[in-house]
């Protein structure tokens, strides 16, 4: 009930007003049955505008931090994210990742639409980053199609790290379903899972027009943060003064 209330009464009208959203290729989403909506991820707004513009309900796998924030704010966030069709997952370990996949399998087995971000996290700079192979495992194990979805313009409305949103045109482009039945019986094969994931990211690149980067977004963020920390800790070192007693001004000139 809350999903549709958020969509049509509480949140939807405001999203329409500030985003003027349009959608292309909505006919590629099946009227019934399970399917994976694989989207690029530019902003938090992605998880609001895609459900807004798709007729069927979409269930997203969302990071558990959205549901565990303490205090009144945390309870409100939990209520909102649960009501808007998002399911919490833990992303901190391999066992947690398997549990997330199990949740995805259950959702698809129930004939629902599952929303996934193959990049695993939001893009830090608007580029499209390397995809994680969990999406390929789900497709192979459940036999459901993967439908590529490109979100365009949400990063202008809701830039990473920003608390205030601003009006910006939002576009959604949905590609044709990708059928990977040619890989039947090959699940668990690492090279096949990588090939499927790369094909999905290739379609997202074509739909979104983003530049592709062959590195995981999480790895890029971690390396960037580490370099920033190192730069902040580094202190300037003055060069040693020349060892001479005959030119007292030499050291000052050299420094």
Mean pLDDT value across the chain: 84
The pLDDT assigned to 68 comes to 63
Mean pLDDT of 128-132: 97
Comparing 60 with 244, the larger pLDDT belongs to 60
Q: What is the DSSP string of the chain?
A: -HHHHIIIIISHHHHHHHH--EEE-GGGS-SSS-EEEEE----TTHHHHHHHH-SS-EEEEEETHHHH--HHHHHHHHHHHHHTTEEEE--SSHHHHHHHHHHHHHHHHTT-EEEE-TTSS--SSS-EEPPPTHHHHHHHHH---EEEEEEESHHHHS-TT-SS------EEEE-PPBP-GGGTT-TT-HHHHHHHHHHHHHHHHHHH-PPEESS-HHHHHHHHHHHHHHHHH----PPPPP--SS-TTHHHHH-
pLDDT in tens, 75-100: 766 666 666 667 766 666 566 677 78
pLDDT band at 249 (very low <50, low <70, confident <90, very high): very low
Specify the pTM: 0.82
pLDDT in tens, 157-215: 988 778 789 999 999 999 999 989 889 888 889 999 999 999 999 999 999 999 999 99
Q: Sketch out the chain's domains with CATH numbers.
A: 24-221 (3.40.1130.10)
- Distances, alpha carbon 144 to alpha carbons 93, 103, 211, in Å: 26, 15, 28
């Amino acid at each position: 009930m809350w999903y549709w209330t958020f969509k049509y009464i509480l949140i939807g009208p405001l999203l329409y007003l500030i985003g003027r959203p349009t959608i292309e290729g909505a006919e590629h989403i099946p009227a019934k049955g399970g399917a994976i909506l694989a989207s690029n991820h530019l902003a938090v707004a992605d998880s609001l505008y895609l459900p807004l513009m798709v007729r069927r309900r979409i269930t997203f796998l969302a990071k558990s931090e959205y549901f565990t924030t303490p205090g009144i704010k945390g309870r409100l966030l939990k209520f909102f994210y649960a009501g808007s069709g998002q399911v919490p997952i833990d992303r901190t370990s391999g066992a947690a990742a398997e549990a997330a996949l199990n949740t995805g399998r259950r959702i698809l087995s129930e004939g629902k639409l599952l929303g996934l971000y193959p990049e695993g996290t939001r893009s830090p700079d608007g580029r499209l980053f390397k995809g994680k192979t969990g999406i390929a495992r789900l497709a192979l194990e459940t036999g459901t199609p993967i439908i590529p979805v490109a979100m365009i313009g949400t990063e202008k409305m809701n830039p990473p790290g920003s608390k205030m949103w601003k009006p910006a045109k939002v576009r959604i482009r949905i590609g044709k379903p990708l059928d990977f039945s040619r890989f039947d019986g090959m699940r668990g094969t690492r090279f096949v899972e990588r090939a499927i994931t790369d094909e999905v990211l290739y379609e997202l690149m074509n739909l979104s027009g983003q530049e592709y980067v062959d590195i995981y977004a999480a790895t890029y963020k971690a390396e960037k943060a580490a370099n920033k920390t190192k730069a902040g800790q580094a202190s300037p070192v003055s060069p040693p003064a020349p060892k001479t007693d005959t030119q007292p001004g030499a050291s000052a000139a050299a420094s």
